[in-house]
Amino acid sequence: MQIPSNSINFNPLDGLISDTIYEMLENHNLLSEKGVRDFQIRQQFRSMRSCNVPAYEAIENLRVEYPYLQFDTIRKIVYKLNGARR
């Protein structure tokens, strides 16, 4: 994953980690593209659900943004248990 050259402070994990930490992790190849993508998908899903968008419609909206992912894949991402790691 490359930081876009037109956006010096691009941080898809803003609110979770600082721009400085994100840049350091990115520079040392310590970030998982899939992990960052899944985090963004979960954030978008929660945002839509907080605006009373039905779950099915929210997942379909995410499919428009991520057309290479199937409905069930997005469903698994958004409903993944956060406490699965111990």
Q: How far is the C-alpha of 75 from the C-alpha of 19, rounded, in Å?
A: 29
3-state secondary structure of 51: coil
d(CA 38, CA 80): 10
**43-76 pLDDT, tens digit each:** 999 999 999 999 999 999 999 999 999 999 999 9
pTM: 0.77
Q: How confident is the model at residue 9 (pLDDT cuts 50, 70, 90)?
A: low
Q: Quote the CA–CA distance of 59 and 68 in Å, as a whole number.
A: 13
CB atoms within 10 A of CB 63: 15
